Amino acid sequence: MITSPLFLKFIRSAPDVKEEEVTMILDHFTILQVKAKDHTVREGEICKHIGFVNKGCFSYYTLSESGRKSIIHFAFEDWWTGDLQSFLKRQPATTYWQALEEAELITINRSDFEHLCKISQAFKYLFDLKTQTAYIKILNKSAKDKSETAEEKYLRMLEEYPQIIQRVPHYDVASYLGIAPESLSRIRNKISK
Amino acid sequence: MITSPLFLKFIRSAPDVKEEEVTMILDHFTILQVKAKDHTVREGEICKHIGFVNKGCFSYYTLSESGRKSIIHFAFEDWWTGDLQSFLKRQPATTYWQALEEAELITINRSDFEHLCKISQAFKYLFDLKTQTAYIKILNKSAKDKSETAEEKYLRMLEEYPQIIQRVPHYDVASYLGIAPESLSRIRNKISK
DNA sequence: CGGAATCTTGAAAGTGTTCAAATCAAGTGG
DNA sequence: CCACTTGATTTGAACACTTTCAAGATTCCG
């Protein structure tokens, strides 16, 4: 039985959800411990489960043909992990998901997910809302990324996600910002003055 | 009564949808004619309706504090228009939506939308699927945008959306790619050789 | 302590921007 | 139909920013 306060809070944030339904939802999930640097999804595999980050943090990225890593985003506590396209459509994943710290995921597999969506309005609502919100966020981010310099992007990241620079290696932060690690180092040096 | 074959095709693409339900869905929509260069949404307004593009094309963009336009994407036939965040949460919009050609939208307002989602499983399904698909697409795009040069972005755009360069002024294409119009001109010149 | 990984710094090269001017295209009114 | 206006695209030259490559400094961890 899942006891994570963070996850409970998430489930109970659905409108008009009764305690029986909460319990039923929890019953569909399993705890998964993940070691630092381990991958939970790799390109080409079918993503078998999605997971709520209860502890730790993840990066998700793509590899270009030339082997260049491009970090799409990070997932901290309260976020979900997993290649959505692969999970929902049972297609090979196009992204990698890697734990940057020792982590704990609250996971659900594809068939349990489908079943849960059918029997729980509340869970379906929460999941669709998460997707919608994430979609809107990345749309806004995408617009800003186009018109900002590297320094502006870095400063915006510090405002929006102050955790990132604390918990993530700088070469990964650079990849997230779409710049070279050397450039990030110089930007930080310049700002600290 | 809506008769657009494009819209009908979209509605009928839901699984197991009966003709009565199709008719009921159609009854919630209204045709809206939009002149070229008109805006259907502006920053700060509440987005009152979303619309299915039956004819024409739109750009949606943000304006930075400095007044700089940054095009997020274009919407052609078969896409939806409207500031989703504003529409769903009844908040002021953060984007502008502008018709680039004379256009025809098949629109629904916020309360009819809410009602329709409740009474039509099929419509709710189609809408959530659209959001999911759009989300996944922009995630992938976001990853590529970080690691590609201007020329690579332009070539990818030509592959994925060949209509854009045909139907959209080049300075808007440049904004969409996140480069200066002069740079786009030089890239096109270089490629044509 | 020692080695590996990470971060910083410098110099040269590359890519894209800016600004100004020239060219091209489309529509308007005489 | 032409001259004119306005908007869009192209071109050139100087400049700014970021990358690359190479090397050195620092940190982490067994």
Footprint of strand C on the protein (CB under 7 A): A 169-171, 181-182, 184-186, 188-189; B 149-151, 178-180, 182-183, 186
Using CA coordinates, name the residue in chain A closest to B131: A132
Task: Report which of residues B68 and A45 the model is more confident about.
Answer: A45
pLDDT above 70: percentage of residues in chain B: 100
- Expressed in angstroms, the distance from the first to the final Cα of chain A is 51
Using CA coordinates, name the residue in chain A closest to B67: A147
Sign of the C-alpha dihedral, residues B76, B144, A105, A8?
negative
A134 touches chain B (CB under 8 A): yes
- The tens digit of pLDDT for each residue in A40-52 reads 999 999 999 999 9
Q: Which residues contact A51 (CB under 8 A, 6 or more apart)?
A: A32, A40, A80, A81, A82, A105, A106, A107, A108
Residue B76 CA from chain centroid, whole number: 7
Range with the lowest mean pLDDT among A16-20, B63-67, B75-79?
Answer: B63-67
- Shortest CB distance from A135 goes to which of B62, B131, B147? B131
Q: Do B146 and A175 touch (CB under 8 A)?
A: yes
* CA–CA dist B37, B73 (Å, integer): 16
Q: Which residues contact B36 (CB under 8 A, 6 or more apart)?
A: B56, B99, B100, B101, B102, B103
- The tens digit of pLDDT for each residue in B12-55 reads 999 999 999 999 999 999 999 999 999 999 999 999 999 999 99
Residue B174 has pLDDT above 80, yes or no: yes
Q: Give the model's confidence band at B11: pLDDT under 50 very low, under 70 low, under 90 confident, else very high.
A: very high
pLDDT at B78: 94
Q: How far is the CA of A98 from the C1' of D11 (A)?
A: 48
Using CA coordinates, name the residue in chain A closest to B175: A146
| Stated pTM of the model | 0.93
- Shortest CB distance from B70 goes to which of A70, A138, A147? A147
Q: How far is the CA of B101 from the C1' of C28 (A)?
A: 21
Domain ranges, ordered by start, for chain B: 5-122
Q: Are B71 and B176 in contact (CB under 8 A)?
A: yes
Q: Give the model's confidence band at B67: pLDDT under 50 very low, under 70 low, under 90 confident, else very high.
A: confident
Contacts of A64 in chain B (CB under 8 A): 147
pLDDT below 50 — which residues of chain A?
none
Q: Which is nearest to A60 in space by CA: B149, B153, B143? A: B143
* CA–CA dist A61, A71 (Å, integer): 4
* CA–CA dist A183, A176 (Å, integer): 13
Neighbours of B126 (CB within 10 A): 19
pLDDT above 90: percentage of residues in chain B: 96
Q: Which is nearest to A40 in space by CA: A109, A132, A119? A: A109
Distance to chain A for B190, nearest Cα, Å: 23
Using CA coordinates, name the residue in chain A closest to B141: A142
* CA–CA dist B87, A21 (Å, integer): 29
Question: What stretch of H or E contains A165?
Answer: helix A162-167
- The second-level CATH assignment, the architecture, of B5-122 is Sandwich (2.60)
Contacts of A125 in chain B (CB under 8 A): none
Residue B65 has pLDDT above 80, yes or no: yes
* CA–CA dist B132, B136 (Å, integer): 6
Q: Give the model's confidence band at B157: pLDDT under 50 very low, under 70 low, under 90 confident, else very high.
A: very high
Q: Are B167 and B101 in contact (CB under 8 A)?
A: yes
pLDDT at A109: 98
pLDDT at B91: 97
Q: How far is the CA of A21 from the C1' of D16 (A)?
A: 59
Q: Rounded to the nearest 5°, which phi and psi values hold at A36?
A: -55, 140
- Shortest CB distance from B135 goes to which of A134, A144, A178? A134
B190 touches chain A (CB under 8 A): no
pLDDT at A1: 85
Q: Which residues, listed in sequence order, are joined to residue B46 by a DSSP beta bridge?
A: B92
* CA–CA dist A160, A176 (Å, integer): 14
Q: Are A19 and A5 in contact (CB under 8 A)?
A: no
Question: What stretch of H or E contains B165?
Answer: helix B162-167
* CA–CA dist B37, B99 (Å, integer): 5
B91 touches chain A (CB under 8 A): no
Residue B191 CA from chain centroid, whole number: 29
Which bases of chain C come closer than 7 Å to a protein CB? 6-11, 15-20
Contacts of A142 in chain B (CB under 8 A): 72, 138, 141-142, 145
